[in-house]
Amino acid sequence: MRKRKVGIVISDKPQKTIVVKITNYVQHPRYKKYIRQNTKVHVHDEKNEYKTGEKVMIEATRPISKLKRWRVIRRVT
């Protein structure tokens, strides 16, 4: 089973690529408060069908280019 994550598309400018923001909540080791961490990843979108603002599920895959290590699975509602 490959890693799967859910994120929001923040850019669809490049061809066959989208940029997805993944939000992760981690607990601070000392203060025990939950902190929001954001990560931006480049994701392969073969048909250019996903647009900015959509929530998508992505999956880790083999390296496709210098920055792309993920591909889109489906739209999440």
Q: Is the pLDDT of residue 76 over 90?
A: yes
> pLDDT value at position 36?
98
65 three-state secondary structure: coil
Q: How far is it, in rounded angstroms, from Cα 46 to Cα 64?
A: 11
For residue range 21-65, what is the model confidence (pLDDT) as tens digits?
Answer: 999 999 999 999 999 999 999 999 999 999 999 999 999 999 999
Domains and CATH numbers, the chain: 4-75 (2.40.50.140)
